[in-house]
């Protein structure tokens, strides 16, 4: 389920792919797990290929899925199945929007500790597990791989599999929940998810400072050792290593803890030659919305995602700036400075976007990292592969795929080049 459950990886926002898989001649919306199981079992003969759809916020991530025979929507699997406030766990239908779940949990002073940029667009619980989508707060709380402790899954032949439970330290059997994380709908239908919850932060504040990529890199290393645990640490700005961008550090704690933490972070950034400013929660939220918008792009843009060691940010930014200047492409770079995750938005002629993405991929691979494609116009998709060369574990990945989906019915094409 990527916000559309796909098979393979994850897509992007809106109808941008050349051939969107959600144009299947048949569409079904099962109301429960039993109905979903019967549908897929019956479809084994009637509908060979399957596309699992949630809100569609990441439908373009990864390789383009071939038009499927049947689209299975999770809209009917959208309820809060159970909530155990004392155990801080909840079982949720995969089609439930994250925003709706957060509203219900807030009544008990709890939340699912995720803040993806796709939440306002209706990102679903199943889609977040299937795509691995997460926001800046993943620095402290992790992703759905860390927060999902169980799931009910429906395989391509209709088999229903249960993994995990409300017990957080349950270790019996294979952890299919984590196996489905980031699978982009290529292994089966995510029907229900059990998640661990956190208390809602009593207070939150953000410290911002103008900083180059090199300064942000140094600040990230120093902040990790200063005794304060930031919930998020992001850098957004122009792509030259010495160009000024904006560094944002967020802290969630008690009001006293927030006051002490922001003071310590501001003092540390000042020793690095930066000029920090502390923002309250309202002004801070506006800055975080800017970060989310900076990594989203528009219909004519390409969004690419690189992963490296955290200390490679200056080299990553410099390479992107050089390539953008060379090919006449405008770029924005948003980096999770402490995690080594870099999201670039490319604007310009499609062939130039593809050239920049290929060049940046080569440089990131030289730095020991990898790059994948999220959103891109059809003209760019025709020139640019979504995935890097197959990883060393590709044989194992193929074996898992064959075991769970032996006839390759789920989201064919999502991981094109690896299967």
Give the dihedral sign, CA 28/127/101/156: positive
For 203-294, CATH gives: 3.30.70.260
pLDDT of residue 80: 97
pLDDT-derived band at 46, boundaries 50, 70, 90: low
CATH match of 302-381 with 1.10.10.10: no
| Residue-wise DSSP of 303-335 | EEEEE--GGGHHHHHHHHHHHHHHHT-EEEEEE
High-pLDDT (> 70) share of the chain, %:
89
High-pLDDT (> 90) share of the chain, %:
77
Are 123 and 57 in contact by the 8 Å Cβ rule? The answer is yes
pLDDT at 173 over 80: no
Of 342, 269, 346, the closest CA to residue 309 belongs to 342
pLDDT at 48 over 50: yes
Query: Matching CATH topology for 203-294 and 302-381?
Result: yes
Residue predicted with more confidence, 5 or 413: 413
| Residue-wise DSSP of 12-81 | -SSS-SSS-GGG-SEEE--SSHHHHHHHHHHHHHH--SEEEESS-TTTTSSSPPPPPSEEEE-TTS-SEE
For 1-200+390-419, CATH gives: 3.30.465.10
pLDDT of residue 118: 93
- The tens digit of pLDDT for each residue in 185-222 reads 999 999 999 999 999 999 999 999 999 999 999 999 99
pLDDT at 3 over 50: no
**Pairwise CA distance, residues 316 & 333, whole Å:** 10
Return all residues near 331 (Cβ < 8 A) that are at least 6 apart. 238, 239, 320, 321, 324, 344, 345, 346, 347, 356
pTM of the model: 0.89
Domain ranges of the chain: 1-200+390-419, 203-294, 302-381
């Amino acid at each position: 389920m990527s916000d559309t459950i796909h098979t393979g990886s994850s897509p992007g926002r809106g109808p941008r792919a050349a051939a969107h898989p959600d144009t299947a001649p048949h569409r079904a919306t099962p109301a429960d797990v039993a109905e979903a199981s019967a549908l897929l079992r019956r479809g084994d003969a009637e509908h060979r290929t399957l596309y699992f759809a949630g809100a569609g916020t990441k439908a373009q991530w990864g390789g383009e899925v071939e038009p499927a025979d049947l689209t299975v929507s999770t809209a009917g699997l959208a309820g809060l199945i159970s909530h155990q406030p004392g155990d801080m766990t909840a079982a949720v239908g995969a089609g439930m929007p994250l925003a709706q779940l957060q509203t219900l949990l807030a009544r008990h002073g709890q939340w699912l500790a995720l803040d993806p940029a796709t939440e306002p667009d209706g990102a679903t619980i199943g889609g977040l597990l299937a795509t691995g989508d997460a926001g800046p707060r993943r620095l402290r709380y992790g992703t759905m791989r860390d927060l999902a402790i169980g799931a009910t899954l429906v395989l391509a032949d209709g088999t229903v599999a249960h993994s995990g439970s409300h017990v957080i330290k349950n270790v019996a059997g294979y952890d299919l929940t984590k196996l489905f994380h980031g699978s982009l709908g290529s292994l089966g239908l995510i029907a229900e998810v059990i998640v661990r919850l956190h208390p809602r932060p009593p207070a939150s504040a953000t410290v911002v400072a103008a900083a180059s990529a090199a300064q942000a890199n140094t600040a990230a290393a120093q902040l990790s050792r200063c005794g304060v645990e930031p919930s998020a640490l992001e850098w957004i700005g122009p792509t030259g290593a010495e160009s000024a961008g904006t560094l944002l550090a967020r802290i969630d704690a008690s009001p006293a803890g927030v006051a002490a933490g922001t003071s310590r972070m501001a003092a540390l950034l000042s020793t690095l030659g930066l000029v920090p400013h502390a923002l309250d929660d309202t002004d801070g939220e506006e800055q975080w919305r800017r970060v989310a918008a900076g990594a989203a792009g528009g219909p004519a843009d390409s969004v690419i995602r690189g992963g490296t060691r955290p200390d490679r940010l200056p080299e990553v930014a410099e390479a992107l700036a050089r390539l953008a200047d060379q090919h006449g492409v405008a770029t924005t770079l948003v980096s999770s400075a402490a995690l080594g995750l870099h999201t670039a938005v490319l604007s310009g002629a499609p062939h130039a976007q593809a050239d920049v993405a290929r060049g940046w991929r080569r440089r990131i691979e030289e730095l020991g990292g990898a790059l994948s494609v999220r959103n891109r116009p059809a003209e760019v998709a025709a020139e640019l592969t979504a995935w890097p060369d197959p990883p060393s574990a590709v044989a194992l990945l193929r074996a898992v795929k064959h075991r769970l989906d032996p006839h390759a019915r789920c989201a064919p094409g999502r991981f094109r080049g690896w299967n």
